[in-house]
């Protein structure tokens, strides 16, 4: 968007010899060398903002952004999403009693069920998220409270870093995994059932692999001493304060998902940037191309309510969503692109009018002698 002219200046490659090449008593000349660099004669490209470059640039930006915005908006509108809050704040909410009667010493878990209806069928892979509100995972002390070398299966298993304080040792035993992030692991269990026309409940299969970042699961988080015999590997450590089970019992049925490499644990350890966030919980695989993954109809969500949020006025919710090439439902992106593109285009038109008017006015004015 710049008009350019190339001013090629000849380069004098011979530095002018100082006049002090004579005898030893001659004062060296202070004149700078006659090189292109020192005499500021380097070849340069000089862009200028002219109407011929700026106005087309505005129109081009507008013409590029508007179709992109339209594409993004249309794609986002085709994504289906469903959200339901199950915190249990109101008295008529199913999980009200669980929320109210929460205590840390409960041995029997509290369960509740939430019914909902899907108006539209969900096709292709459906992703199930849990969302939290008013939970500041981006608090500075919270973000620092972890020990990545311990989580990498390193030597600091029994000697966690100081950053984990006060969740570093419990009863003189080192905590594995240490830190406040690990301590606040989300431990609600959600199950989905479809109520078909007969009234019978059909459990919907939920896949728990593939929900974490690949680099996290395979590089960053490693079990100490391999994936087998974790009980032995974690000898001498204790579970985090707020956990009900130790880390090597997170998923005993699958050694690839136990210990530090448990995917729910890894997903939780990746701190969210905003106080209202959602994390991937399970994936519902698509069955076939003809039947929708989740047909429209009645559903039930069974919750084992382990996670208290009412103490800090937080909220919990469950989200079901389909996915496209650009991710989940994100209308803001499409609208923003359309807005910026049209503003750019409009600005280009306005500038063109101003420039044209000023141009004609100037040309018709009398030129003073």
Task: Give, as ranges, the residues between 15 and 54 that touch other proteins (CB under 8 A).
Answer: 42-51, 54
Window 74 to 93, contacts with other proteins (CB under 8 A): none
- State how far the Cα of 154 lies from the Cα of 148, in Å rounded to an integer: 9
Residue choice 73, 82, 127, 135 for contact with other proteins (CB under 8 A): 127
Report how far residue 31's alpha carbon sits from residue 1's, in angstroms, rounded to the nearest whole number: 40
Q: How far is Cα of residue 129 from the mean position of the Cα atoms in its chain?
A: 14
Q: Is 210 in the site for other proteins (CB under 8 A)?
A: yes
Q: Which of 279, 149, 148, 126 is nearest to 207 (CA)?
A: 126
Mark the segment that binds other proteins (CB under 8 A) among 99-107, 113-121, 309-317, 352-360.
352-360
Specify the stretch interacting with other proteins by CB under 8 A; choose among 3-11, 165-173, 192-200, 225-233. 3-11
**Single residue of 111, 149, 158, 227 touching other proteins by CB under 8 A:** 149
Should residue 72 be labelled a site residue for other proteins when binding is judged by CB under 8 A? yes
Alpha-carbon distance 282 to 205, whole Å? Answer: 9
- Which residue lies nearer to other proteins by CB, 49 or 241? 49
340 lies in the binding site for other proteins (CB under 8 A)? yes
- State how far the Cα of 271 lies from the Cα of 99, in Å rounded to an integer: 25
Residue 68 near other proteins by CB under 8 A:
yes
Q: Is 6 in the site for other proteins (CB under 8 A)?
A: yes
Asked if 145 touches other proteins (CB under 8 A), the answer is no
Stretch that binds other proteins, among 83-91, 247-255, 298-306, 360-368 (CB under 8 A): 360-368
Our finding on whether 353 is near other proteins (CB under 8 A) is no
Helix-helix angle 51-77:331-364, to 10 degrees: 160
Least Å from the CB of residue 343 to other proteins: 8
DSSP 90-111: STTSTTHHHHHT--TT-SSPEE
The minimum distance between CB 101 and other proteins, in angstroms, equals: 31
Q: Which residues within the stretch 230-289 sit at the binding site for other proteins (CB under 8 A)?
A: 270-274, 276-280, 283
From residue 97, alpha-carbon distances to 94, 110, 299, 303, 306 in Å are 8, 9, 21, 13, 13
Which residue's CB is nearer to other proteins, number 51 or number 118? 51
Q: Which stretch binds other proteins (CB under 8 A): 16-24, 234-242, 309-317, 356-364?
A: 356-364
Nearer to other proteins, 104 or 325 (CB): 325
Contacts with other proteins in 214-233 (CB under 8 A)? 214-216, 219-220
Size of the site for other proteins (CB under 8 A): 82
* Closer by beta carbon to other proteins, 20 or else 67: 67
Residue 144 host element (H or E): helix 140-144
Six-digit token pair at 196? Answer: 């078909």
Residue pair 137/184 in contact (Cβ under 8 Å)? The answer is: no
**Is-contact 169 157, C-beta < 8 A?**
no
Q: Rounded to whole angstroms, how far apart are CA atoms 117 and 127?
A: 17
Q: Is there a contact between 230 and 258 (Cβ–Cβ < 8 Å)?
A: yes
Q: Does 118 bind other proteins (CB under 8 A)?
A: no
- Segment 282 to 321, residues that bind other proteins, using CB under 8 A: 283, 321
19 or 332: whose CB is closer to other proteins?
332
Q: Does 346 bind other proteins (CB under 8 A)?
A: no
Q: Which is nearer to other proteins, 58 or 307 (CB)?
A: 58
Q: What is the dihedral of CA 106, 111, 112, 118, to 10 degrees?
A: 140
Residue of 213, 241, 285, 297 interacting with other proteins (CB under 8 A): 213
- From residue 165, give the alpha-carbon distance in Å to each of 5, 234, 242: 63, 20, 15
Q: 26 or 219: whose CB is closer to other proteins?
A: 219
CA neighbor of 294 nearest in space, from 317, 319, 322: 322
Cβ nearer to other proteins, comparing 98 with 284:
284
């Amino acid at each position: 968007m710049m008009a350019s002219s190339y001013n090629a200046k000849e380069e004098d490659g011979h530095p002018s010899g100082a006049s002090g090449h004579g005898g030893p008593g001659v004062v060296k000349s202070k004149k700078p060398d006659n090189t292109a660099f020192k005499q500021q004669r380097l070849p340069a490209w000089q862009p200028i903002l002219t109407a011929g470059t700026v106005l087309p640039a505005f129109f081009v930006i507008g013409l590029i952004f508007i179709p992109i915005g339209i594409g993004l908006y249309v794609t986002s509108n085709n994504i289906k999403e469903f959200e339901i809050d199950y915190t249990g704040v109101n008295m008529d909410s199913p999980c009200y009693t669980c929320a109210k009667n929460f205590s840390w010493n409960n041995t029997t878990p509290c369960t509740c069920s939430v019914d909902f209806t899907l108006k539209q069928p969900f096709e292709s892979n459906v992703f199930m998220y849990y969302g939290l509100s008013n939970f500041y995972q981006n608090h500075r002390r919270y973000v620092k409270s972890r020990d990545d070398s311990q989580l990498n299966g390193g030597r600091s298993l029994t000697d966690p870093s100081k950053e984990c304080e006060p969740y570093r040792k419990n009863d003189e035993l080192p905590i594995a995994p240490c830190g406040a992030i690990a301590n606040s692991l989300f431990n609600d269990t959600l199950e989905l059932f479809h109520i078909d026309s007969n009234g019978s409940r059909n459990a919907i299969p939920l896949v728990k692999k593939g929900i974490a970042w690949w680099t996290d699961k395979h590089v960053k988080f490693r079990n100490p001493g391999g994936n087998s015999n974790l009980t032995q590997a974690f000898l001498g450590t204790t579970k985090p304060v707020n956990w009900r089970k130790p880390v090597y019992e997170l998923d005993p049925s699958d050694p690839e998902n136990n210990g530090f490499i448990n995917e729910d644990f890894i997903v939780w350890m990746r701190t969210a940037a905003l106080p209202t966030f959602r994390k991937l919980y399970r994936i519902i695989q698509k069955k076939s191309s003809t039947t929708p993954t989740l047909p429209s109809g009645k559903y039930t969500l069974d919750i084992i309510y382990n996670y208290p949020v009412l103490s800090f006025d937080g909220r919990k919710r469950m989200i079901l969503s389909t996915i496209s090439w650009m991710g989940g439902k994100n209308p803001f992106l499409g609208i923003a692109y359309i807005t910026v593109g049209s503003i750019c285009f409009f600005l280009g038109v306005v500038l063109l009018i101003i420039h044209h008017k000023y141009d004609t006015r100037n040309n018709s004015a009398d030129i003073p002698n």
